[in-house]
């Protein structure tokens, strides 16, 4: 279509666009367009994660192998670090502060070492979760994959590290007269439940850490406080026998104490059921399911925002 102007020039008029007046949503529907990086539905997200299961396993194993690659002792530090912590805590809390009241030395040392190994599993999972997104922005921005793969991989890495450490833990347990019994099998469901709890908590911290990277600087203080409140170095009922029963109950029912006590009960002959809070297995299951599911949903809700901004 053309029009002739007064000076004889020909001006071409552009026909109206067929998309004129359509909203962005209508344009997307018309041309079957989708938002890049949009959050998939919950069921689809779970299916995508299952499809990346080999990546999750390989990534966690690679991270574990690289963790101490620059150290001369290499992977031995996986075991040496909690053992050195146990030695320091035994000297301070066991010998000086007498925190093992109500327990003989043959019970207190396995009690202490087990608590440190088990709490370190949760502590390391949380700390790795905080940096899962903010510490891997290059990977997040370069590749399209379910972001929950990262905190799950880091939790799995800590589980693998704990399983290596358990070999040394069992040697120490047996050195103090605790030999294998059927109760040792209870360690397996306790670790499964703790892994579910740790993974949910890691995903919560991963979302928070992605938005606030400075959280990584605060978390060591939070975790140290949690450790002191969870009975890693002392028996909560014995230490708080003269305090309000409510305080002792709150500390015993916190998830870190629950999982530590279950594994201590399974492995240590002198640590009986009287040391456990009532319905402790139900508490362990509830902590695992509630934190695991809520953590996963909480992380999934912000899927499209990771790595942006």
How many residues in total does the chain contain?
A: 309
Q: Assess whether pLDDT exceeds 70 at residue 160.
A: yes
Identify the pLDDT of residue 167: 86
Q: What is the mean pLDDT of residues 153-163?
A: 92
Q: Assess whether pLDDT exceeds 80 at residue 195.
A: yes
Proportion of the chain above pLDDT 70, given as a percent: 84
Q: How do residues 34-62 score in pLDDT, each as one tens digit?
A: 555 567 889 999 999 999 999 999 988 88
Q: Per-residue confidence at 120, pLDDT binned at 50, 70, 90?
A: very high
Neighbours of 112 (CB within 10 A): 25
Q: How far apart are CA 66 and CA 273, in angstroms?
A: 40
Structure tokens that stand for 297 in this block: 């949903």
Identify the pLDDT of residue 198: 97
Q: What is the mean pLDDT of residues 194-206?
A: 97
Closest CA to 106 of 275, 274, 270: 270
- β-strand partners of 12: 2
- Average pLDDT, rounded, for the chain: 85
Contact 206, 151 (CB under 8 A): yes
More confident residue, 28 or 182: 182
pTM for this predicted structure: 0.85
Identify the pLDDT of residue 46: 94
Task: Dihedral sign for Cα 77, 80, 85, 91, please.
Answer: negative
């Amino acid at each position: 279509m053309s029009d002739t102007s007064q000076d004889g020039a020909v001006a071409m008029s552009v026909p109206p666009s067929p998309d004129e007046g359509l909203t962005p949503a209508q344009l997307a529907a018309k041309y079957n367009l989708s938002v890049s990086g949009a959050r998939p539905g919950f069921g689809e997200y779970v299916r995508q994660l299952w499809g990346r299961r080999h990546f999750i396993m390989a990534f966690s194993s690679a991270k574990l192998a690289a963790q101490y690659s620059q150290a001369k002792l290499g992977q031995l530090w996986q075991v040496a670090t909690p053992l050195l912590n146990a030695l320091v805590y035994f000297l301070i809390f066991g010998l000086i502060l007498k925190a093992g009241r109500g327990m003989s030395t043959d019970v207190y040392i396995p009690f202490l070492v087990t608590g440190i190994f088990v709490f370190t599993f949760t502590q390391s999972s949380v700390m790795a979760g905080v940096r899962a997104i903010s510490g891997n922005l290059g990977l997040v921005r370069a590749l399209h994959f379910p972001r929950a793969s990262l905190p799950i991989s880091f939790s799995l890495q800590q589980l693998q590290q704990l399983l290596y450490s358990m070999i040394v833990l069992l040697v120490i347990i047996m050195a103090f007269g605790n030999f294998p019994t059927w109760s040792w099998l209870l360690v397996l469901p306790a670790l499964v439940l703790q892994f579910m709890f740790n993974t949910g908590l890691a995903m919560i911290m991963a979302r928070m850490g992605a938005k606030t990277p400075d959280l990584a600087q605060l978390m060591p203080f939070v975790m140290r406080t949690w450790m002191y409140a969870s009975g890693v170095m002392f028996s909560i009922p014995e230490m708080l026998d003269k305090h309000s029963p409510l305080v002792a109950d709150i500390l015993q029912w916190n998830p870190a104490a629950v999982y530590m006590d279950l594994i201590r009960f399974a492995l240590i002959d002198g640590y009986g059921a009287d040391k456990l809070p009532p319905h402790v297995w139900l508490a362990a299951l509830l902590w695992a399911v509630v934190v695991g599911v809520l953590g996963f949903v909480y992380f999934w809700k912000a899927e499209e925002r990771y790595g942006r901004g």
